[in-house]
Amino acid sequence: MENAIRKVLALFSGGVRYDGEAVAVANPAVLRGVAMDRLVRLAVFGEQEERDAARWLIWELAQEMGCRPASIHELYMARGRGECGGFTVPAVNLRLLTYDMARALFRALKAREAGAFICEIARSEIAYTDQRPAEYASVVLAAALREGFAGPVFIQGDHFQLNPSKYRSRPEAEVQAIEALIDEALAAGFFNLDIDASTLVDISLPTLDEQQRVNYTRTAELTVYVREREPDGVTVSLGGEIGEVGGKNSTVEELRAFMDGYRRTLASLGDYAGLSKISVQTGTSHGGVVLPDGSIAEVRLDLDALRALSREATERYGLAGAVQHGASTLPEDAFGKFPEYGACEIHLATNFQNLVLDHPALPAELKQEIRSWVLEHCAGERKASDTEEQFLYKSRKKALGPFKAKLWNLPEPVREAISRDLEARFGFLFDQLRVNGTGELVEKYVVPPLLRRSVPGPAAVAAPDDAEAGE
């Protein structure tokens, strides 16, 4: 391991030093050059010792330079108390070209002095994009360092979802799989987690409490699991969910049934901090509704329901508000509505994936290679009613893991052209969501503790994969 440490330090030509106890930055400028590009590639594609040393160094540099992994819990609690608001936090799923995409995101944030944002990855995405939490966090932090971003970095586990079919056959084994994923995520610096047991809601039962009981009970139990393992000085921001995305719209009555049951159950388990937000369904679906020609149908979003749910979450339960999933493929004039109607957070994924995969700079031969791979390897997912374009649109995300290295290794001019358009897209969304100038607000409420890692070590044991468990 000593040789691996020397190798990663040598990338910075004396600008970064390690005395056996702590990393020190003698020349901050070296962090914003090609040495960081080389370091992050080792963190992703290096042999095990080099990879572990690179990830350790990225973590230590982030601690030193003030772009530390952080929980957004205190900002959300302040919002629940009415001390701030008027903006909607973008939670962005970085599925592909993660380093370039994250760099574009940080450039857009810096240009707007914005600090309220989240980089996230779902349980399913970890599997099909081939990005374990330790890798994902390292790449995001490296991008922040490369762009000179100073401020808390909010990394989130999205849809840590209980698979209903697996739960029905072996409930405790499925809960243990989520617990293993929580362990892996916390070790990587994911201090924001969305627990999703909404898949276990049974609307055939006679009362709302009975319908939500398994959901709120499992969410409370997993809350305790997190609280007993979170690092000193960190209160992990936890989200719950009452309506599976793509299902029927959520109601205020369902929110009350879930939250009242959750609070009762959590109180019976001990004195623990609870949720900071609640995810709801108001008309969207992940990836959008795909038409036969592969285009996306216009979604009818129930904004009045979103406002009522957010208001209830805030005024009755002191949460930051409601979270909207599946939002990135909405019409452009929809995004400005989210702050207006009180959404505390929206999740954005597919639009950025589409921007990359459909970009005119992406080589035609690579596009065809991805298309052929999907047709061959994902044929079993195709519904009888799907046109080829519908099927390809819905299933091409499964190619992101197999093509990860080819995408990372695209020629620099191609990646730069894609990155420029990503940065412009991020900028548009950040403007619409009114997170401009939120850096000062984040600084007021969020103070990430110093969490040093003394020596490089292997990542936590990988949790069981589930490529179908929410996104």
Q: According to the model, what pLDDT value does residue 392 have? A: 94
CB atoms within 10 A of CB 47: 9
Q: Are strands 322-324 and 277-280 parallel, antiparallel or unpaired?
A: parallel
Pairing mode of beta strands 322-324, 153-161 = unpaired
Report pLDDT digits (tens) over 13-40: 999 999 988 999 999 999 999 999 999 9
462 located within any domain: no
460 is a domain residue: no
Residues in the chain: 471
385 shares a domain with 437? no
Q: What stretches in the chain show pLDDT beneath 70?
A: 244-247, 283-300, 328, 457-461, 463, 466-471
Residues contacting residue 460 through CB under 8 Å, at least 6 positions apart: 133, 134, 183, 184, 187, 188
304 in the same domain as 200 = yes
Integer angstrom CA distances of residue 201 from 20, 207, 210, 217, 274: 52, 12, 9, 11, 20
Number of domains forming the structure of the chain: 3
Q: Which residues of 360-398 are buried (b: 16+ CB within 10 A; e: fewer)?
A: eebeeeeeeebeebbeeebeeebeeebeeebbbbbbbbb
Residue 325's closest CA among 399, 247, 263, 260? 247
Residue 211 placed within a domain: yes
- CATH code, 206: 3.20.20.70
In a domain, 351, yes or no: yes
Is residue 56 located within the same domain as residue 77?
A: no
Total Cβ atoms within 10 A of residue 311: 15
If asked whether residues 392 and 431 sit together in one domain, one would say: no
Instruction: Tell me, yes or no, whether 257 and 278 share the same domain.
Output: yes
Mark whether 8 and 78 lie in a shared domain: no
Provide the whole-model pTM: 0.94
Residues 396 and 426 in one domain: no
CA gap 102, 97 in Å, rounded: 8
Helix (H) or strand (E) holding 3: helix 2-10
How many CA atoms, within 13 angstroms, populate the side-chain half-sphere of residue 360? 2
Q: Which of 35, 65, 95 is the last residue of a domain?
A: 65
Considering only CA atoms, which of 11, 39, 35 is closest in space to residue 139? 39
**pLDDT of res. 455:** 73
The answer to whether residue 461 is domain-embedded is no
Q: What is the pLDDT of residue 325?
A: 83
Q: Is the dihedral of CA 15, 106, 436, 359 positive or negative?
A: positive
Domain end among 15, 38, 65: 65
pLDDT of residue 246: 45
Give the gyration radius of the chain's Cα atoms: 21
Same domain, residue pair 339 and 307 = yes
Residues 58 and 156 in one domain: no
Domain extent, residue 48, equals 2-65
Residue type, 64: E
Residue 319 to residue 454: CA distance in whole angstroms: 36
* CA atoms within 13 Å, Cβ hemisphere of 391: 18
Q: ∠ at Cα 29 (28, 30), nearest 5°? A: 90
* Residue-level pLDDT at 331: 84
Query: Which residues, other chains included, contact 5 with Cβ-Cβ below 8 Å and sequence gap of 6+?
Result: 18, 53, 56, 57, 456
Max Cα distance, the chain (Å):
68
Residue 465 lies in a domain: no
The verdict on 303 and 349 lying in the same domain is yes
Kindly state whether residues 208 and 296 are assigned to the same domain: yes
Per the domain annotation, does 241 fall within a domain?
A: yes
Residue 457 belongs to a domain: no
* Domain boundary, last residue among 42, 65, 88: 65
On whether both 41 and 131 belong to a single domain, the answer is: no
How far is it, in rounded angstroms, from Cα 207 to Cα 11? 62
